[in-house]
Amino acid sequence: MMDVGRHPRIELMTNSEVESIAGFVGNFNVTVRKKARYVDPNECTACAECTKVCPVAVPDEYQQGFSSRRAIYLPFPQAVPSSYVLNMNDCLGNNPIACGKCAEVCEKHCINYDDQDELVNIEAGVVIAATGMEVYDPTEYDEYGYTRFDNVITSMEFERLICAGGPTGGHFLRPSDRKTPKSIGFIQCIGSRSRDGRGNPYCSNICCMNTVKDTLLLCDHYPGIEAKVFYMDMRAFGKGFEDLYMRSKEEGVKYIRGIPGEITKDAQTDNLTLTVENTTTGRREEHELEMLVLAQGVIPRRDGEQVKKLLTLSTTSDGFIMESHPKLKPVDAPTKGVFIAGCVESPKDVKDSVTQASAAAARASILLNAGKTKIEAITSRIDPARCNFCGICAQVCPYNAIIAPDRKAEKAPTVIQAACAGCGACAAECAQDAIIMRHFRDEQIMAQIEAILEINPHQHLLTFACNWCSYAGGDNAGTARLQYPTTCRLIRTMCSGRVDEKFVIHAFRLGAPIVLVSGCHFSDCHYINAVHWTQKRMDRLWNKLDKLGIRPERLRLEWISAAEGQKFAKVMRELEAGVKEVSEEEIAHTMMVLAEEEAKREEKISRRMVGVEG
Amino acid sequence: MANQLEKPGDLRIGVFVCECGLNIAGTIDCAEVSKYAETLDDVAVVVQNKYTCADPGQNEIKKAIVEHNLNRVVVASCTPKIHEPTFRECVADSELNPYLFEMVNIREHCSWVHQNEKERATEKAKDLVRSGVARARFLEPQTEMEVPVTKAALVIGGGIAGIQAALDLADGGHKVYLVEKEPTIGGIMAALDKTYPTMDCSI
């Protein structure tokens, strides 16, 4: 931690949050809000005079509420930067009647009650998201009495009670009578591997070994202490882990296979009695213990949505950030130039966090060392000859990459190539077909539609899937070997916003029974908000189909994320039934109606041409 | 090489059908897909490989580009998310513009998800190859734009992962902005007493 504080090339911005990130790989423009600290960190010498006079006492978050801190405080002795911070919510304020004492005693005059948040702009070529995790709150497991019994604590609280820098100076005491317990129990998997709707279904990875560590600390500090661990499976899978587990057993720690179902407290002794089915012996057992530790699991950060939005990332079903590929690109985010490290990706211990962080740094270094990167040639281009200067493209573009046309000067819009991300929403909205998406041109997609519907069109589920989410959701179903019917014939576009009305109409015109458009969930859209245009266009299309006497239900819209292989397979199964429901007569009728529409349109165009010539 | 068509209709498409060991061939009749691909217009050559992404498979592509003067390449194998960059580089090695390459996913989207329906999966693979070839006819050479990379990194989060990433990058000579929400770095790790497997102090 100290190394970070004094590194000449690291600009440390604590008490700060990223507000916005614009731009693209190699060229991110970031706004950071430096929140008011009310103490100048460059001037503060951490002399502690301010804390001595502060009259406010609030629970100390760092000590898990076991002790109190002042309104002006140092988070913990080794904090970096080593500067006090004033929490304005706790402070009585700089009112001469109310308080203002800390500023009076600060010889360096580094306390400023009028400090303001500051917005700072920074330019970065790469971003590493290492926003971490939170621990599971065991309150909802009321049978363990966390809120009712003083001597039931969590594993995070255990850390503070055994720590020399903790509220008890490292003397392990139980809260009810401040005596060192002679017996202690640990219950594993609190909020992890749960199937009863409470907690989470995944394994939190760290709790088994953390408990093994805790028992070793106790045996070291208090030889002869009776420690019992209640578990469903002990997972000591890492390097050196089995040794620690065996050492703990050799020290006399009892490992009992079974999760207690009930806990009662003796009113006189404050001891706890656990009732458990020992699944090794098949017997019901009772254990009286003086103290109990709940090995709480790891959960995604509750403010994780913010990071997701900032960097257009997705999460897997457990709520952790999804990597670009689970095996081959484990620290790359799907957004180019963004990398992930630590518990934001999945629950992991210190060693794995460090490993992943070094990997992310190495991946990021590739871009930084090269000093340049190539951008996929999938951007949009405007054909001025076809443009009617309506300007819809400039309105649609989520990146403001299109300079609006000048109708009077008959100047067509232009695309800033470096800013265009290639979603194709502009091309799909352009009624004049004046926008060419490089590598995803109309002709290319139309050719795919025609090829797919060339043979047995009535049997196929023509599917458009966006590259980032729905296509990847299909990949996810494949990797998981989820089986679904063979009806689907899929066309990949970068974004569902690329799916032009005429693609859908053309597919129905050629005999498609059902057309599925699938894209990212609104919050996952990889092109900021291009997916909104998908929704608007589908609404228009449903109306149009309805007016033409074509059942709108035959055009389906589904949001499928990259992690939702299950959903992809489910949609495929549902739509298999949908395809079978559409009769050949219905398809023939649709084809006739759309052929007539096409003929009318062509006639109108030729009349106009005649008019022009005349 | 033939990046631009000399005249319209002068298409020479090579189709490479990958068995991916048994990952694809275990479900899809690759020989039938290959035979079918030969019947498609503008297809000049069809090659079936055990592993198209491996060196021998890539060499087949390079060889065919030269021998058959190919101006489009279609590989029917896995998801483009894994090997599109591989094959783009492969065709570029033979001086064909990488954007004249098209990938058809007959593994994740076909063989792996229709393991009990071999005939139908084979029919689907044929349809997907036909669609890929149809798209390939309209592919155009593209030039990728090169953009500079700002020589600085933003690390969001000052827990153990953020600290390590920031130090590695900074030690490597790069400017790093480390942004932490709390008044101090350290994160959850700083609240731990000892950490396993070394049983030493966390800070």
Do A166 and A40 share a structural domain? no
Do A295 and A183 share a structural domain? yes
Q: What is the pLDDT of residues B98-131, one digit of tens each?
A: 999 999 999 999 999 999 999 999 999 999 999 9
Q: What is the mean pLDDT of residues A84-113?
A: 89
Q: Please give the C-alpha separations between residue A184 and each of A160, A175, A274, A290, in angstroms, as whole numbers.
A: 16, 13, 11, 6
Interface test with B, best of A70, A486, A487, A494 (most B CBs within 10 A): A486
Residue A324: closest CA among chain B residues belongs to which residue? B81
Q: What is the mean pLDDT of residues A322-331?
A: 85
| Residue A604, min C-alpha distance to chain B (Å) | 29
Q: What is the CATH number of the domain that holds B74?
A: 3.40.50
Of A189, A187, A254, A184, residue with least CA distance to A222:
A184
Residue B108: closest CA among chain A residues belongs to which residue? A478
Q: Does A366 touch chain B (CB under 8 A)?
A: no
Q: What is the pLDDT of residues B163-182, one digit of tens each?
A: 999 999 999 999 999 999 99
| Residue A338, min C-alpha distance to chain B (Å) | 10
Do A256 and A214 share a structural domain? yes
Over 90: is that where the pLDDT of A323 sits? no
Domain range enclosing B88: 13-137
Q: What is the CATH number of the domain that holds A160?
A: 3.50.50.60
Among A299, A319, A335, give the residue marking a domain's end.
A299
> In the structure encoding, which two tokens stand for residue B4, read together?
């631009």
- Gap between the Cα atoms of A254 and A232, Å rounded: 14
Do A214 and A234 share a structural domain? yes
Do A96 and A76 share a structural domain? yes
Q: Where are the alpha helices (DSSP H) in A492-583?
A: 501-509, 530-547, 565-581
CB contact under 8 A, A129 and B184: no
Total domain count for chain A? 4
Write down the pLDDT at residue A524: 77
Over 80: is that where the pLDDT of A523 sits? no
Do B169 and B92 share a structural domain? no
Quick check: is B2 in a domain? no
Do B165 and B127 share a structural domain? no
Quick check: is A101 in a domain? yes
Q: What is the CATH number of the domain that holds A98?
A: 3.30.70
Residue B88: closest CA among chain A residues belongs to which residue? A376
Quick check: is A41 in a domain? yes
pLDDT confidence tier of residue A613, bands split at 50, 70 and 90: low
| Residue B6, min C-alpha distance to chain A (Å) | 19
CB contact under 8 A, B178 and A451: no
pLDDT confidence tier of residue B2, bands split at 50, 70 and 90: very low
Q: Can you tell me whether residue B179 is helix, strand or coil? A: strand
Q: What is the mean pLDDT of residues B13-26?
A: 97
Write down the pLDDT at residue B8: 58
Q: Can you tell me whether residue B8 is helix, strand or coil? A: coil
Among A439, A466, A481, give the residue marking a domain's end.
A439
Q: Concatenated DSSP letters for A304-367?
A: HHHHHHHHT--B-TTSSBPPSBTTTBTTB-SSTTEEE-GGGTS---HHHHHHHHHHHHHHHHHH
Q: What is the CATH number of the domain that holds A397?
A: 3.30.70.20
Do A262 and A171 share a structural domain? yes
pLDDT confidence tier of residue A614, bands split at 50, 70 and 90: very low
Over 80: is that where the pLDDT of A494 sits? yes
CB contact under 8 A, B108 and A159: no
Do A384 and A285 share a structural domain? no
Write down the pLDDT at residue B203: 75
In this structure, how many other beta carbons lie within 10 angstroms of the beta carbon of residue A154?
18
Chain A hits for B164, CB-CB cut-off 8 Å, are 341, 353-354, 357-358, 361
- Gap between the Cα atoms of A75 and A60, Å rounded: 8
Q: Can you tell me whether residue B72 is helix, strand or coil? A: strand
pLDDT confidence tier of residue B152, bands split at 50, 70 and 90: very high
Chain B hits for A451, CB-CB cut-off 8 Å, are 127, 130-131, 133-135
Do B159 and B99 share a structural domain? no
Do A246 and A223 share a structural domain? yes
Do A612 and A503 share a structural domain? yes
CB A361 within 8 A of CB A128: yes
- CB-nearest partner of A372 from B147, B178, B192: B147
Cα end-to-end distance, chain B, whole Å: 60
Quick check: is B160 in a domain? yes
Residue A72: closest CA among chain B residues belongs to which residue? B183
CB contact under 8 A, B158 and A4: yes
Q: What is the pLDDT of residues A30-82, one digit of tens each?
A: 999 999 999 999 999 999 999 999 999 999 999 999 999 999 999 999 999 99
- Gap between the Cα atoms of A185 and A257, Å rounded: 13
CB contact under 8 A, A447 and B137: yes
Q: What is the mean pLDDT of residues A466-488?
A: 96
**Interface predicted TM-score (ipTM):** 0.86
Query: What is the rounded average pLDDT for all residues in chain A?
Result: 94
Count how many pairs of residues, chain A against chain B, have C-beta atoms within 8 Å.
Answer: 361
Q: At CA A300, angle to CA A296 and CA A301, rounded to 5?
A: 105
Domain range enclosing A394: 376-439
CB contact under 8 A, A377 and B144: yes
